[in-house]
């Protein structure tokens, strides 16, 4: 997403094949885009917006006319999950003249993308049809992916007052994707390694909406949309474990392959054992809703007003299954020689089961009603006051139909049918206030304050025993002020100070295992994210009235994101517990940095745009280091060599641990060099281009979640062409 990368305050994590949009703004966690509301023409694109906001589908940028990004008080017009901002992809309106267009590009690691589109206006109806295909081998081993997408859009002007729109989208993804990352030694030895070669994720998504726009008067209109979507996400992941002791410990009996690498051999966590079973995480999500938005411009006592108001009903369901694939041996073991009967059987990675036994099953649903109103009062044609409020009420139901149950006598667990159902009801009021002042025609001062809101997911609000966790939605109180516009003829700038204050941020205390989290999530308490974001463009070519443009861009964000409350609980002092043991178990996190937030991110770029059609751009991106956890652990290679118990305790108190497994440690700073060059014929409507990402081929860590080192993409060079008829 090249466009979003240039938005001030944006934090995008690059990893895997780019099918998932990991994005956040202003120090908000960017994992799977959970905290950012991503829309297409105002319609949800996530799995389930209230209970499963993960962004496994990303809108195709080639279908878009523009992208709207809202980070301030204007976010109250949308919901839920707007703490990290709102991204609204606006699709193109069908062209007036019949147009056939083709685009194709390909390059490194077997990447190839092609799109065919046809559209035009026939009578009073405009249509646009496009077919997209993407494929590639991925920059890591066993990371192939295929994507197919079909889209249809129509716009019919019934008369001067009424317009009907319709849109349908079908997407299919087939990708070798895994949770399993690398150990430190594996990353040093070969960062392109991927040992989960049988892991595969399949996604099918179908969505559609029908809209009606009624122009009530010259200054008011009512837009109503009915929408629905179905997503099926099936993910097969091979079971694996890590060594817990030294190299000489006996590995599990059902190991198919194991992987270790110097120099960390013989260290806990540095060896990965791939087992002979596979888990199928099959999930389907549905949502349907209807929304009406009313807009009106009017004057009241000589004051210009612009009113936006709306009402929405939304219903969503999720069917979540975990299917336990059994061991399926495909060759015999002759322990007493080939002349004797087999003594056993063993499996290979190619015999892993494609199905199995249902272990966990739950059915969940959420229903919600939301309403909003915002009015802009404009005084003296230069100063605007924009108050608004949003109200959300929603009910979450979780029904656990089957799960693993532990026998209190034998202490063994088995899958059993159960009947556990719980319900949470939430009522949320979200106020907001914006101010703008036109300093001059092309320069605006702005300020805003609003309440942010993000609902808890099913597993956060309702635990696996069927009890209510009493986890509130995430709330934040957000403030901003700044200016944007043309400072001079040659200089354009946007500078914003922001202050986000979480009241009860939801904190994940462990990685996800199987179908559900291994521990209940909780409201972690207060945090804040404060800083400055800026985007400055200087074009020296305008100084001498050149026919071409030579924009120099500087995009810089400084974020200070920290935990903002004491976390010591003296009531948890155990009998006969030493002071150092208590200090370790009840370590205060107040003042610690929030994980996965770079303090400094910067982009410096220079471009060239010629009216004859030539263009070029080169840029350098910098990301400062990040912590991977809220204890701000510092990992060193020698920590697991310590045997003295008191020294071990001291290291734990100092937040020092081993990084041999790759799961702990900070994310080192890194820089990326990108460039592009192309030519677009201004008359004949064809173009050619070449793009390069990470041209220095930096080997860097993009993250350590969910299970080990996730590697950032290597050097990628693509060439392509487009034309229209």
Tell me the pLDDT tens digit for each residue of 344-353: 677 777 778 8
Q: Work out the average pLDDT over 396-408.
A: 89
Confidence of residue 523 (pLDDT cuts 50, 70, 90): low
Confidence of residue 462 (pLDDT cuts 50, 70, 90): low
Chain-centroid distance of CA 172 in Å reads 19
What was the pLDDT predicted at 467? 55
Confidence of residue 661 (pLDDT cuts 50, 70, 90): confident
Could you tell me if 81 and 35 are in contact, meaning their C-beta atoms sit under 8 angstroms apart? yes
Torsion angle, CA of 338/342/344/345, rounded to 10 degrees? 80
What was the pLDDT predicted at 466? 53
Model pTM score: 0.90
Token pair, residue 637, equals 């290679």
What was the pLDDT predicted at 264? 53
508: which residues sit within 8 A by CB, 6+ positions away? 517, 521
Q: What is the CA radius of gyration of the chain?
A: 27
What was the pLDDT predicted at 516? 41
Confidence of residue 158 (pLDDT cuts 50, 70, 90): very high
C-alpha to C-alpha distance for 301 and 9, rounded to whole angstroms: 39
458: which residues sit within 8 A by CB, 6+ positions away? 51, 52, 318, 362, 364, 396, 398
Confidence of residue 149 (pLDDT cuts 50, 70, 90): very high
Q: What angle do CA 506, 281, 471 make, to 5 degrees?
A: 20
- CATH architecture under which domain 2-724 falls: Beta Barrel (2.40)
What was the pLDDT predicted at 50? 93
Q: Work out the average pLDDT over 633-652.
A: 81
Lowest mean pLDDT among 163-167, 262-266, 603-607: 262-266
Nearest to 425 by CA among 368, 507, 372: 368
What was the pLDDT predicted at 505? 72
Cα distance from N-terminal residue to C-terminal residue, the chain: 27
Q: Work out the average pLDDT over 67-91.
A: 91
The residue ranking higher by pLDDT, 586 or 444, is 444
**Which letter, b or e, does each residue of 452-480 get, where b requires 16 or more Cβ atoms within 10 Å of its Cβ?**
bbbbbbbbbbbbbeeeebebbbbbbebbb
Q: Work out the average pLDDT over 704-712.
A: 90
Per-residue CA distances from 664 to 555, 646, 702 (Å)? 30, 21, 13
pLDDT at 660 over 80: yes
What was the pLDDT predicted at 519? 38
Q: Work out the average pLDDT over 109-114.
A: 95
Q: Work out the average pLDDT over 443-469.
A: 76
- The residues facing 360 across adjacent strands are 322
Q: Work out the average pLDDT over 320-326.
A: 92
What digits encode the pLDDT tens for the residues 25-57?
A: 988 888 888 889 999 999 999 999 999 998 899
Confidence of residue 381 (pLDDT cuts 50, 70, 90): confident
Could you tell me if 46 and 38 are in contact, meaning their C-beta atoms sit under 8 angstroms apart? yes
Give the DSSP letter string of 49-92: TTTB--------GGGEEEEEEE-SGGGGGS-SS-TT-EEEEEEP
For strands 474-486 and 10-12, give the pairing: unpaired
Could you tell me if 422 and 432 are in contact, meaning their C-beta atoms sit under 8 angstroms apart? no
- Residue 431 main-chain phi, psi, to 5 deg: -85, 160
What digits encode the pLDDT tens for the residues 205-239?
A: 999 999 999 999 999 999 999 999 999 999 999 99
What was the pLDDT predicted at 136? 95
- The residues facing 240 across adjacent strands are 274
Dihedral over Cα of 538, 539, 540, 542: its sign: negative
Confidence of residue 338 (pLDDT cuts 50, 70, 90): confident
Confidence of residue 512 (pLDDT cuts 50, 70, 90): very low
Confidence of residue 518 (pLDDT cuts 50, 70, 90): very low
Within 10 A of 567 (CB to CB), how many other CB atoms are there?
Answer: 14
pLDDT at 253 over 70: yes
C-alpha to C-alpha distance for 363 and 668, rounded to whole angstroms: 41
Q: Work out the average pLDDT over 67-89.
A: 90
What was the pLDDT predicted at 509? 40
The residue ranking higher by pLDDT, 647 or 468, is 647
Confidence of residue 459 (pLDDT cuts 50, 70, 90): low
Per-residue CA distances from 426 to 423, 453, 470, 522, 525 (Å)? 10, 12, 11, 16, 19
Q: Work out the average pLDDT over 393-418.
A: 88
Could you tell me if 134 and 123 are in contact, meaning their C-beta atoms sit under 8 angstroms apart? no
pLDDT at 570 over 70: no
The residue ranking higher by pLDDT, 505 or 475, is 475
What was the pLDDT predicted at 569? 60
Mean pLDDT over the full length of the chain? 88
- The residues facing 552 across adjacent strands are 538, 606
Q: What angle do CA 382, 384, 389 make, to 5 degrees?
A: 170
DSSP annotation of 2 reads H
Could you tell me if 45 and 78 are in contact, meaning their C-beta atoms sit under 8 angstroms apart? no
Most confident of 268-282, 373-387, 620-634: 373-387
The residue ranking higher by pLDDT, 251 or 508, is 251
Confidence of residue 582 (pLDDT cuts 50, 70, 90): low
């Amino acid at each position: 997403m090249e466009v979003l990368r240039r938005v001030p305050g944006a934090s995008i994590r690059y990893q895997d094949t780019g099918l998932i949009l990991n994005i956040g703004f202003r120090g908000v966690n960017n994992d799977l885009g959970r905290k950012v509301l991503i829309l297409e023409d105002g319609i949800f694109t996530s799995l389930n917006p209230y209970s499963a906001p993960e962004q496994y589908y990303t809108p195709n940028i080639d279908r878009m006319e523009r992208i709207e990004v809202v980070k301030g008080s204007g976010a109250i017009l949308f919901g839920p999950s707007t703490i990290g901002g709102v991204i609204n992809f606006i699709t193109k309106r069908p062209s007036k003249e019949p147009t056939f267009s083709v685009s194709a590009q390909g390059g490194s690691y077997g990447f190839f993308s092609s799109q065919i589109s046809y559209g035009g206006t026939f009578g009073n109806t405009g249509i646009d049809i496009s077919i997209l295909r993407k494929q590639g081998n991925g920059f890591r081993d066993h990371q192939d992916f295929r994507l197919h997408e079909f889209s249809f859009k129509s716009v019919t002007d019934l008369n001067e007052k009424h317009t009907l729109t319709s849109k349908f989208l079908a997407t299919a993804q087939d990708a070798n994707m895994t949770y399993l990352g690398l150990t430190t030694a594996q990353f040093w030895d070969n960062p392109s390694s991927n040992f989960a070669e049988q892991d595969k994720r399949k996604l099918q998504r179908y969505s559609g909406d029908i809209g009606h726009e009624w122009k009530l008067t010259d200054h008011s209109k009512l837009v109503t949309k009915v929408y629905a979507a179905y997503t099926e996400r099936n993910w097969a992941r091979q079971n694996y474990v890590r060594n817990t002791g030294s190299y000489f410990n006996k590995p599990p009996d059902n190991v198919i392959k194991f992987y270790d690498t110097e120099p960390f051999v013989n260290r806990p966590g540095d060896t990965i054992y791939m087992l002979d079973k596979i888990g199928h995480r099959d999930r389907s999500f549905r949502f349907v809703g209807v929304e009406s938005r009313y807009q009106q411009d009017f004057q009241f006592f000589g004051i210009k007003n612009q009113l936006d108001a709306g009402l929405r009903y939304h219903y969503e369901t999720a069917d979540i299954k975990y299917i336990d694939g059994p061991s399926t041996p495909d060759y015999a073991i002759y322990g007493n020689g080939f002349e004797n009967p087999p003594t056993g059987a063993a499996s290979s990675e190619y015999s892993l089961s494609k199905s199995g036994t249902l272990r966990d099953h739950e059915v969940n649903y959420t229903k919600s009603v939301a309403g909003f109103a915002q009015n802009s009062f404009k005084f003296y044609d230069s100063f605007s006051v924009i108050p608004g409020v949003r109200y959300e009420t929603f009910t979450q139901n979780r029904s656990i139909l089957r799960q693993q149950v532990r026998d209190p006598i034998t202490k063994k667990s088995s899958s059993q049918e159960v009947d556990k159902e719980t319900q949470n009801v939430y009522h949320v009021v979200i106020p907001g206030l914006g101010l703008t002042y036109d300093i001059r025609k092309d320069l605006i001062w702005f300020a805003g304050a609003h309440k942010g809101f993000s609902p808890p997911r099913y597993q956060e609000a309702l635990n696996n025993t069927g009890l209510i966790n009493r986890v509130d939605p995430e709330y934040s109180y957000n403030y901003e002020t700044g200016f944007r516009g043309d400072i001079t003829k040659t200089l354009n700038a946007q500078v914003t100070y922001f202050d986000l204050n979480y009241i009860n941020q939801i904190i994940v205390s462990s990685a996800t295992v199987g179908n559900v989290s291994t521990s209940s999530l909780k409201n972690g308490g207060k945090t804040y994210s404060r800083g400055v974001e800026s985007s400055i463009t200087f074009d020296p070519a305008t100084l001498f009235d050149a026919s071409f443009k030579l924009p120099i861009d500087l995009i810089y964000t400084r974020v200070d994101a920290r935990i903002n409350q004491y976390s010591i609980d003296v009531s948890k002092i155990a009998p006969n517990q030493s002071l150092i043991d208590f200090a370790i178990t009840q370590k205060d996190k107040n003042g610690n940095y929030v994980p996965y937030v770079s303090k400094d991110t910067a982009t410096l770029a220079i471009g060239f745009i010629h009216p004859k059609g030539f263009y070029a751009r080169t840029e350098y991106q910098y990301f400062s280091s990040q912590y991977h956890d809220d204890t701000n652990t510092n990992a060193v290679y020698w920590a697991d060599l310590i045997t003295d118990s008191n020294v071990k305790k001291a290291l734990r108190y100092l937040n020092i641990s081993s990084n041999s497994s790759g799961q702990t440690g900070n994310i080192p700073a890194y820089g990326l060099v990108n460039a592009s060059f192309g030519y677009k014929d201004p008359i004949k409507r064809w173009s050619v281009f070449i793009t390069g990402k990470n041209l220095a081929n930096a080997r860097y860590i993009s993250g350590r979640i969910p299970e080990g080192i996730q590697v950032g993409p290597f050097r990628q060079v693509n060439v392509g062409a487009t034309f229209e008829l």
